[in-house]
Amino acid sequence: MVCVCNATYCDTLDPVVLPAPGTYVRYESSKAGKRLERSEGSFQRSLHAPVTLTCPPADLVLTVDTAQRYQRVKGFGGSITDAAAINVFSLPEPAQDHLLRSYFSEEGLEYNLVRLPMASCDFSLHAYTYDDVPYDYELAHFSLRDEDTKLKIPLLHRASAMSTRPLSLCASPWTSPTWLKTSESYVGKGTLKGQAGDKYHKTWANYFVRFLDEYAKHNVTFWAVTAENEPTAGLINNYPFQCLGFTAEQQRDFIARDLGPALANSSHSHVQLIILDDNRLHLPRWAKVVLEDEEAARYVHGIGIHWYLDFIGPIQDTVVPTHELFPDYFILATEASIGAYFWERDVILGCWERGNQYSHSILMNLNNFVVGWTDWNLALDLEGGPNWVKNYVDSPVIVDASEGIFYKQPMFYHMGHFSKFIPEGSQRVGLVASKTTNLEYTAFLRPDGAVTVVVLNRSLQNVTFGLADNVGLIAAVAPANSIQTYLWRRWQ
C-alpha cells in the first residue's frame, strides 16, 4: 500500500474541521488500501440502554474518562538529515513541494517536531564537523557547511512557511571535532579528552552555542538540543560511524560544569536541554545519575529515548519508573527507524507491518507518559540512503529520483493518525475498556476541547466495539489490520 506522488499529483487531506455536536468524524487507514479515509457518523444517544449494534453485539466498550489526566503532548515529527535533504532536492521542484506539504501543511500530516543533526551523521555523504581545524580551541574557524546553508536550512524555511503550527526544532550532535577526542577519529570508541571543566569540555560546550548562533543568523531558532546522540555508542569498540562516548556520570559532569552554564550564559538560555537521547534500556539508571545531581539537574528539561532494543528494555521497567522518579522532566521519543537491524531488509515498499510497528510504538509510548514521537529520516532513496557507512534503513517516504517520484508508505499514514489530530498541548485522558481486547488505543483532550481517540487493530479479525463519551455512544468496527482516528466535540 503506497501512494505514488510526482510533480503533478499527490494525495492530499482537507484541513481538520470539528464535526457538529452529536456527530463524530473518523479517519481510517488499512492494509486493504484505505489511506486516512474520512467518514462521519452520529452518536447514539443512549449510553445505558441495551446496546443494539450491528451483529455481533459489541460487548467491548471503550469509555473516555476525562477525570484521569496524564501528560501533555509536545508533538510528532521526523528528522532532516543530510540524506533526507539530498533526497528531497533530488526531485523536480513541484514534487519537492508535494513532499514537504505532505508532512508539514494542513493538507498533510501537520508535523511540528523536526530533529536536526549538528553537522554530519551516518546519513551524510561523508564525515565532517563545523570546525575540523586542529586545536582551534577558540573556534575561530567554526562555520556551517553547504549541507546546512544549501540543504537543511532552505528545507526548514520551506517547511516552516507551509506549516500552520509552529515548528519545534531539536538539534543533536553525533561527534565533536576529532582533535577534542581521545580517539582522534570521527568513528570508533572515544570520549572527549580530559575531564569536565577543562578546555576540551569547555570548547565542546561553546561549539553548541556557536551552532545556535550560526543557525540564528539564518533565521532558524531551536526549541531544544540533546547533549549527545546515543552517548553509549562511543563506548563501543570499532563503532562504525560518528559518535562521542559519555557514561551517565560523564554526561552529568559535562552538563553541570560546561554545557549547562554555556547555554545559560548565552543568548540561547531558552533552549531546552535533553539528556540520554539513546535507547530506553539505560533508564532509569541514566536519569538517576544525572538528575539526582542538583548542579546538572537545574540545566536539564527532558529525557530523549530511541526505540532500538526496546524488546530488551520493557517500557514498564524503564520509562515508567523514570517518570515516577522525575515527573517534572518530560520524556520524548527522539528517534526510530525500521531496517536498522542486520536481520531486517532495508526498504520494503508498501509494507503495512512496518506501519503497524510505528503505531504500536507510538501508542505504547503515549500510554506511558511519553510526550511525543520523532521519526528518523523524512525521506530516503530506494536503497534506504544515502549513508556513507551503508547503514541503510526504511523511511515513511521513499524517493525515486530517476523517475521524479516519491512513495508515501504505510508508516507515513500511520504517523498521520497521531500527528494531524493530536496537536501540541493536547492532554492524554483515560480510555477504559469494558473487557480485555487485542485492540490498542489512546485518548486525548485537545486544546480546542475536542476528543481524539486512536484505535489500532493489528489482528487478522475485524473487531466490533463501542466508543462512549458524555455525548453518547459510537457503534464502531475496527477492520483487520487497520488504524482509525476518531474526533468529536464533547458536551461542555
| Helix H or strand E encompassing 445 | strand 440-445
CA dist 443 and 121 (Å) reads 36
DSSP secondary structure code for residue 181 in this structure = B
258 within 8 A of 204, measured Cβ to Cβ: yes
Position 64, amino acid? V
Position 40, amino acid? E
What integer best gives the mean pLDDT of the chain? Answer: 96
Q: Which of 487, 469, 369, 473 is nearest to 423 (CA)?
A: 487
pLDDT digit string, tens, across residues 388-411:
999 999 999 999 999 999 999 999
Exposure of 480 by Cβ count < 10 A (0-12 exposed, 13-18 middle, 19+ buried)? middle
pLDDT digit string, tens, across residues 464-481:
999 999 999 999 999 999
Query: What's the full length of the chain, in residues?
Result: 492
Dihedrals phi, psi of 241, to nearest 5 degrees: -140, -175
446 within 8 A of 64, measured Cβ to Cβ: no
Q: Which parts of 272-330 fold into alpha helices (H)?
A: 285-291, 294-297, 315-325
Q: What is the pLDDT of residue 54?
A: 46
% the chain with pLDDT above 90: 95
CA dist 88 and 104 (Å) reads 14
Indicate which residue of 28, 110, 228, 335 is catalytic: 335
- pLDDT (average), residues 414-422: 98
Catalytic residue status for 335: yes
DSSP secondary structure code for residue 255 in this structure = I
Exposure of 490 by Cβ count < 10 A (0-12 exposed, 13-18 middle, 19+ buried)? middle
Q: What is the pLDDT of residue 49?
A: 46
Catalytic residue status for 107: no
pLDDT digit string, tens, across residues 118-157:
999 999 999 999 999 999 999 999 999 999 999 999 999 9
CA dist 440 and 449 (Å) reads 23
Indicate which residue of 228, 230, 424, 440 is catalytic: 230
Dihedrals phi, psi of 362, to nearest 5 degrees: -60, -45
Q: Which of 121, 123, 97, 119 is nearest to 108 (CA)?
A: 97
How far is residue 256 from each of residues 34, 248, 251, 252, 270, measured CA to CA in Å?
A: 51, 12, 8, 6, 17
% the chain with pLDDT above 70: 97
Q: What is the pLDDT of residue 436?
A: 96
Cross-sheet strand order for the sheet of 405-408: 3-5, 405-408, 397-400, 380-381
Q: What is the pLDDT of residue 478?
A: 98
